[in-house]
Structure 1
Amino acid sequence: MDELTTLVKIVTDRRLAVLPFLDFSARNAASKDLQLVRLLEEDPNTTQNKIVKSLYGATDARSQTTFRKLKSRVQQKLLNHLYFLDHTDVRHVVSRRHEQQCLGLLHQARILLGEGEYKLAERLFRKSLKVATDAELTQYAVMCVRMLRILYAETRNAARFKAMNKQLEELQQTLSLEDEAEQLFFEIKVFSQQKVRWRQFILKQLPSSLERLEQLHKKAKTYNTFYFLYVTKMSREELTGNYAEIIRLTAATEKARKQGKVNEMRFDKRFNNYMSVYAHLQCRQAKKGLKLAEEYFKDFHYSSGNWFYYLEIYLLLAMHASQYGQAYELLQQARKNPYYRKQRPAAQQRWELYEAYIQLVQPEQSPVKMRHFAQLVQTVPDYSRDKQGYNVAILILQFLYFLRRRDIEGLLARLDGLRKYEQRHLRNPATLRSQLFFRMLLLTVKENFVARQCEQKAAPLLEKLRVAPQPGEAYGEIEIVPYEDLWAFTLTILHRLEEEQRANEQASRDYVG
């Protein structure tokens, strides 16, 4: 009871007169704070003027000034609620709950230490240290041991002070190894996300980086060094296009996790599942990958950015498996997600591009949809650094759109864009698939859109395309629809255009006759 009595005294003596929180249980409260939160809940896209009008009945200068004060106060209260979020949902990062528990205990213990309550503070520091040790959160373990060392110095406990000194020295050595591994890992990561030439540069540096990461992991033997090594291995295979090895790596790591060889308090199986599904897409195992994508999707919480990234791969698998109806349903699911606008503009533009492809291969005969599709295709830029990895897809989409419309002027303009892009960006042997498909599209113009001639002349190129390996991320452009399927679609367009031309000629002869 002594400890409880101590806490009662501290809290009752030092508590704030007005708690800086929102009372969400008061559904019908007249509080402007809660009213503002409810308005934003109901319509996240509402404007400031609408909210001011709803709260104060006017939008004059006085109302705006009052609203700015309200907005600042509510924001601070919402920030205070971040200390009490629910981290138990298994669809979130598993390590987060242990990290938050560790930080919470540290925070409480430091306050008690400042109040001179050494006994209770020691208990909480040790509890936090236990969580940090079990979850292999080395940086927090260092913080806990440092605080315990201070506590034992203040209480003149020489034996425990000495023990903390020894433990701190060991932890700092481990943390130093982890810091070096982390530095290597993030250098690789940041350059891997840059332009293609930077990806190719980092690819050359990977062997020495991996060797050093292996050495660091052998010394530290912690989850952090394991993770940095593991993800870097996956990056190497992804950059080189060795997706079969990624499937093997993810399967082996999942097996190790089930055997207790990987710390389950830290390992994010969702990342492993994502990489496995992505590798199945790149290995042209679309049907198998689609089944896995359906199975794993439940593990992602709709509020996380990873949910959208995963759904993109899920949608692409549906496209590669020719399940265009399912792909459209997944697209709609993304659009209906209340966190859709949280994505970066480039990510939102990718969803527009996916929709355009779905509309291209399986058009919905709605005038509104057709008009939106036409506007989208014509406004997407031919080439953009923001769309790294999607430029070929954009050029192909525009070419097929103008081909289907038999818009010769627009087609020739895109033809010039295709040639220039191929000359500038598709000279590397690793971009063979895009090179081959570009040549097949160019044939349609050269052969004057005659389907039979195009099919015959492109047959050798199509055979090469079928056996060409998928490019790695260091070189590759995304195939939203496999090139083999797009060529079949192109021939269908050409046959349809010939039929329409014959029908028009027959109608003209009948009219003259």
Structure 2
Amino acid sequence: MEKLSNLARIVTDRRVKESPLFDFAAKKSTNKDLKLIRILEEAPDSTQLQLTKALYGKSSATSNTSFRKLKSRVQQKLLNHLYFLEQSDPRHLVSRRYELQCIGLYHQVTILYGEGEYMLAEQLLRKCLRQALEGEFTEYAVLATRLLGKLYVDLRQPARYRAASKQLQQLQQLMALEDEAGQIYWSSKMAQAHTVRARRALLNDLPGYLAQLQQLHEKARSYTTFNYLYLIQLTLLEFTGNYEEIIKITTATEKLWAKGKINRRRFDSRFNNYMTVYAYLHNKQAAIGLSLSEDYLKDFHPSSGNWFFFMENYVLLALHAGQYSQAQHLLEMAHKNPYFRKQRAAARQRWDLYKAYIYFLQPENSPLTLRHFNQFVQTVPDYSRDKQGYNVAILILQYLNFLRRQDVENLLARLESLRKYEQRHLRESATLRSQLFFRLLVLTVKENFDPESCEKKGRPLLHRLHEAPQPGEAYAEIEIIPYEALWGITLDILRANVTENKAAEQARRARVA
């Protein structure tokens, strides 16, 4: 009981006067701290002026000063609650729970060590080290072992100090290898987030990175070096468009994980699920990917960014499978998620583009009027400085929208833009699919919007499109709708326009007669 008694003394003597936490069970509390939180829960977009008036009745110099103090106090208390978040939900990153246990134990130990409570500190420190080693969190194992050595110096236990020093040296050597592997991986990751030109340059460097990581993993044999190596392998396959191999590797890795040959406290099988459906999407096996997505979605917590990334693939799979109503349902699910707005601006813009395509395909189910939709399509933002990727999808959608509206003036202007765009930005062999589809769109104008002529003369181009390989991720290409299906939609638009024009001409003649 001595350890418990000493801990009780430390906490009671050193505790703060005001509670650092909220009592969320007090639902009827008139406390302004809790009242502010309740208002933010109900109206998260409230402005500071609205909040000040709701809490103090009016906005004045005094109430504004009080609100600033309140805001600071509430923020600090909310930050304190981060220590007590529920981490056992399997829909969150599995390693986070074990990593936070290490961090929590180390935090407690440093306080106890500072208070001179060495016996309990050693007990918790050994527990922290054990959990760090089981989870292969080398950096926390180093911290725990280093502090153990200091503690044994204070306790004058030379044998234990020498054992801790030897273990610390081994762990530091391992961490040096992991840090080197991490530097290679994160540098490549940074290049992926840059321009298309940088991604193409990275494609040339990836084989070398892969070889370096292989050597580091052979020396370290740790989960961390394995994971960096695994991620680089998948990145290289993504960049080269070898999606079939991605499916094979993720399937094999999942089997190893199921057998316990990969650290179950660290490996996130949901990442494999994500990569698998991503590969099926780009490997033109949308039906299989769509079926798997329905099962895998439940493994992602709606509050996580990974849920939204997975949903993007899910929506695209539905679109590629021709399940447009399902795609719209998934789109609505994403927008109704209360965490939707926490995504980065670029991610929200991608959702806008998916929305534009879905509403274009199903105008009868669109909540936008025709006029508002036309405005919406024209304001979808550009995405890539290198004029590829989502910009191609935007140009195509805008062209098809003009085609459906039979806006010949804007259509001809867009036609010239398409020609120039192809000449300037779609010259490489990896962009062949976009080149071919642009030529099909140009054909609609050349053939005077005649659907039968366009279909006939477009067959050679369509055949080449079927044969053209899907470009790798290095070229940042994206087809919201597969070009083959989009050409069929284009022909349908032309046929509908012919029918509409004939009906209008018949009505005009009837009025004249």
TM range (shorter): over 0.9
Residue pair 1:281, 1:317 contacting (<8 A) in 2 also: yes
Question: Residues 344-396 of structure 1, C-alpha deviation per residue, up to 9 Å, x if partnerless?
Answer: 12211111111111111121266744333211112224675398620110000
| In the alignment, structure 1 residue 346 sits paired with structure 2 residue 346 | yes
Structure 1, 468-477 or 218-227: larger mean CA deviation:
468-477
Distance 2:117 2:60 in 1: 53
Tell me the residue number matched to 1:435.
Answer: 435
Residue pair 1:132, 1:138 contacting (<8 A) in 2 also: yes
Question: Residues 307-340 of structure 1, C-alpha deviation per residue, up to 9 Å, x if partnerless?
Answer: 1111000000000111111111111111111111
Q: Which amino acid aligns with 1:461?
A: L
Q: Alignment partner of 2:363: what SS?
A: coil
Distance 2:57 2:511 in 1: 68
Distance 1:120 1:383 in 2: 55
| In the alignment, structure 1 residue 505 sits paired with structure 2 residue 513 | no
Distance 1:360 1:431 in 2: 25
Distance 1:335 1:504 in 2: 39
Q: Which amino acid aligns with 1:102?
A: C
Residue pair 1:241, 1:473 contacting (<8 A) in 2 also: yes
Q: Which amino acid aligns with 1:221?
A: R
TM-score normalised to structure 1 length: 0.98
Q: Alignment partner of 2:91: what SS?
A: coil
Q: Which amino acid aligns with 2:71?
A: K
Tell me the residue number matched to 2:317.
Answer: 317
Distance 2:383 2:270 in 1: 33
Residue pair 1:240, 1:473 contacting (<8 A) in 2 also: yes
| In the alignment, structure 1 residue 134 sits paired with structure 2 residue 134 | yes
Matches within 5 A, 1:418-497: 418-497=418-497
Tell me the residue number matched to 1:168.
Answer: 168
Tell me the residue number matched to 1:221.
Answer: 221
Structure 2, unmatched stretches of 5+, are: none
Question: Residues 411-446 of structure 1, C-alpha deviation per residue, up to 9 Å, x if partnerless?
Answer: 112112211221121111011111100000000011
Q: Give how far 1:40 is off.
A: 0.4
Question: Residues 287-313 of structure 1, C-alpha deviation per residue, up to 9 Å, x if partnerless?
Answer: 100011111000111111111111000
Q: Alignment partner of 1:302: what SS?
A: coil
Tell me the residue number matched to 1:95.
Answer: 95
Residue pair 2:320, 2:482 contacting (<8 A) in 1 also: yes
Tell me the residue number matched to 1:374.
Answer: 374
Q: Alignment partner of 1:262: what SS?
A: coil
Tell me the residue number matched to 1:75.
Answer: 75
Matches within 5 A, 1:41-80: 41-80=41-80
Residue pair 1:320, 1:481 contacting (<8 A) in 2 also: yes
Q: Give how far 1:476 is off.
A: 3.8
Tell me the residue number matched to 2:187.
Answer: 187
Q: Which amino acid aligns with 2:472?
A: G
Q: Alignment partner of 1:29: what SS?
A: coil
Matches within 5 A, 1:3-402: 3-364=3-364, 368-381=368-381, 384-385=384-385, 389-402=389-402
Q: Alignment partner of 2:404: what SS?
A: helix
Q: Give how far 1:183 is off.
A: 0.2
% identical aligned pairs: 60
Q: Which amino acid aligns with 1:101?
A: Q
Distance 2:294 2:244 in 1: 20
Q: Alignment partner of 1:385: what SS?
A: coil
Distance 1:295 1:325 in 2: 19
CA pair 262-210 structure 1, distance change in 2 beyond 3 A: same
Q: Which amino acid aligns with 1:493?
A: I
Q: Which amino acid aligns with 1:356?
A: A
Q: Which amino acid aligns with 1:339?
A: Y
Question: Residues 194-224 of structure 1, C-alpha deviation per residue, up to 9 Å, x if partnerless?
Answer: 2111111011111111001000001000000
Distance 1:423 1:5 in 2: 79
Q: Give how far 1:505 is off.
A: 2.3
Residue pair 2:52, 2:59 contacting (<8 A) in 1 also: yes
Q: Give how far 1:117 is off.
A: 1.4
CA pair 75-386 structure 1, distance change in 2 beyond 3 A: farther
Q: Alignment partner of 2:18: what SS?
A: coil
Aligned length: 513
Distance 2:130 2:38 in 1: 40
Distance 1:200 1:144 in 2: 42
Distance 2:238 2:170 in 1: 36
Matches within 5 A, 1:395-414: 395-414=395-414
Residue pair 1:393, 1:478 contacting (<8 A) in 2 also: yes
CA RMSD in angstroms, aligned pairs only: 1.4
